[in-house]
Structure 1
């Protein structure tokens, strides 16, 4: 089955220019799909809401709520244009969609494309990259020279295409390119694709969240923060109630997801409710860069958001300092719990390349469903068996038996494929509003082919006329008419 054919970084195709199709045979429960979509859009909305307000003191905002998406930032971004965090999230998601498994080498290659070529950047250029990420990617590029020498390669394209097996065969090559001493929260900001892809196999989601973070920050405190947050997102998508997500015994109740080793004491304190301080900012909750502070801040916002995205994002911004970071991390969990449909439509309408993000969510949901717990991967990447603890024997509902969206009423009627597709509000970004620093390629051969599924392998695509049209509308020969997702639609 073919999926999204992400462009080559050499073509400088911008996200809003990418052509794609949605899955023809979406399956699974609508509630889990909405939550997968919610986590992606929650991340992206938190990103764009944070543009122009980052690194300000909480005193600057008082009790004023977030009123909308603004322009600004270091790149003078237009309203709705996202930054490095959404770009890195899409890089990670594109690796899962392309490789259909956890491939840390391919992930690093795609991050490198973003770093060097502006791959999946809203401006066509890498910007806002933090020092830890920059240093790790610089080191990765240097280490690729070892692979070139080992396999007698001359170009980056050749070495970028290496399989994970060939990379592992070179004993001198280490994929962990970051420092063991950094404790920043950057890796939490684009975590979502891992639990979204593996939410049906929680042990894999938790394990891989830590392994992915170790590529940039091989610090146990950082890895355990990512593992814990991935577990929360998985539990939210699987339909657990908010009270269980915030329960002080969440870690104990889900102990089998975490493997044999206990998590770091500072992260353990967070799992036991250290963030539950009603007055928030006055009680010392701060959205700082230190990963423990950031994780506490995001969970405090989720705990006291009154089940409202607007209040949650407003509270995240009012915490000050790294408030954009807090909003992005909060948005992933809040979106996974509340679902896409609860995010204010006015924010979604302004979000750059929202249709591409929606398509990525559909494919993560579908391809993740097809993964088997016995997928053939290197034993090094398999989660370790956990050692049961006394606390794990507490009398509670068995986690692995929780049905997806158990707290929602499911329709007994058979669902059509289209009923699983979520309508995306459409606002086309006027060409005049696209920043001048966009690298726009106008040659026809720079556009990659439309993906297709098994059900349309023999379709003659030449008879379809691809034209500019409103998202969510088809053409009947004289006018556009509304419809649910067309399998041949693309964002313009």
Structure 2
């Protein structure tokens, strides 16, 4: 599992950093000016290898889970990131979503993290989905799918409480868990579909909400044409595009470059796809040059090791 954990931690940071300079660029622009390696400056004027809030909040999530599951402690680490740049690539925050910012302001002023997240339909950006990768490792040995759902719901809910965001996070975590044990992309995808659909059938969730995920849960997202894959900051689009990139490529670099070159919310698509690809292909299949170039490279490796040690020592989770 060490290969997978370290691969996922570097995988998210590199995918994120590849996308940072070209965030908001269109697909047509990137088809003419494709990203093929880590570049600097661009839209956020950051040096090459700089990751964004996607990786920072993922690392904050991992940091919190090292000491066990404590939603209040996790939310305070998120506030520390927002206020002090903790786990920022350069110890500062240059990119934060509106829903996340509002939620963390609530937490900072005393609101419980169980009710701090945005719950309106317009608050379904990808700010919870982007930080879910460590949760999949943390829940790897948890056999109760309802408990897994509740845990994902609470962690996502610190910033995003709407069911649509929670369901995206749950699907992603379930897919990563399956990938961890199965190791085969398409088989893992089918296993995730079976498990999630079976669970949804036991619950009284709003069918109109579940229907948003029809292409992911009832069809094969890999078979959708690229023109029909959207890569905006909307949580449904990020989940679909990330899975599509992973299932339509055969190595880490191809996956993250495909994700970033879709345009739009390039850093988050790159991060979510990159975490999954890094988990699947492992650290040995990620360019050592990229690993060396990414911001806080040594710290990421140390965090991955500490996280690995912590989840290995926890027998119940």
Common topology (TM > 0.5): yes
CA distance in 2: counterparts of 1:308 and 1:64, whole angstroms: 22
Q: Residues 75-154 of structure 1 correspond to what in structure 2 (within 5 A)?
A: 75-97=44-66, 99=67, 101-143=68-110
Residues 259 and 33 (structure 1), Cα distance of their counterparts in 2 relative to 1, 3 Å cut: farther
Instruction: Find the counterpart in structure 2 of residue 218 from structure 1.
Output: 161
Q: Which has more radius of gyration?
A: 1
Q: Residues 265-304 of structure 1 correspond to what in structure 2 (within 5 A)?
A: 265-273=211-219, 275-277=221-223, 279-280=225-226, 282=227, 284-304=228-248
Residues 270 and 360 (structure 1), Cα distance of their counterparts in 2 relative to 1, 3 Å cut: same
Structure 1: runs of 5+ lacking an equivalent: 1-31, 145-172, 376-492
Instruction: Find the counterpart in structure 2 of residue 47 from structure 1.
Output: 16
Q: Residues 310-329 of structure 1 correspond to what in structure 2 (within 5 A)?
A: 310-329=253-272
Q: Secondary structure of the residue that 2:101 maps to in structure 1?
A: helix
RMSD of aligned alpha carbons: 2.3
Structure 2: runs of 5+ lacking an equivalent: none
1:131 Cα deviation (Å)? 0.5
CA distance in 1: counterparts of 2:306 and 2:59, whole angstroms: 12
CA distance in 1: counterparts of 2:266 and 2:169, whole angstroms: 19
Residues 174 and 230 (structure 1), Cα distance of their counterparts in 2 relative to 1, 3 Å cut: closer
CA distance in 1: counterparts of 2:236 and 2:164, whole angstroms: 8
Q: Residues 220-259 of structure 1 correspond to what in structure 2 (within 5 A)?
A: 220-247=163-190, 250-253=192-195
CA distance in 2: counterparts of 1:364 and 1:81, whole angstroms: 22
> In 1, are the aligned partners of 2:127 and 2:159 still within 8 Å (CA)?
no
Give the one of 181, 184, 197 matched to 2:125. 184
> In 2, are the aligned partners of 1:132 and 1:216 still within 8 Å (CA)?
yes
Q: How many residues align?
A: 309
1:274 Cα deviation (Å)? 5.1
CA deviation profile, 1:330-381 (whole Å, cap 9, x unmatched): 01111111111111222112012212111211222221122233x7xxxxxx
CA distance in 1: counterparts of 2:288 and 2:275, whole angstroms: 17
Q: Secondary structure of the residue that 1:288 maps to in structure 2?
A: coil
> In 2, are the aligned partners of 1:195 and 1:206 still within 8 Å (CA)?
no
Residues 266 and 74 (structure 1), Cα distance of their counterparts in 2 relative to 1, 3 Å cut: same
1:257 Cα deviation (Å)? 7.2
> In 2, are the aligned partners of 1:246 and 1:273 still within 8 Å (CA)?
no
CA deviation profile, 1:9-37 (whole Å, cap 9, x unmatched): xxxxxxxxxxxxxxxxxxxxxxx111111
Superposition misfits of 4+ residues, deviation over 4 angstroms:
253-260
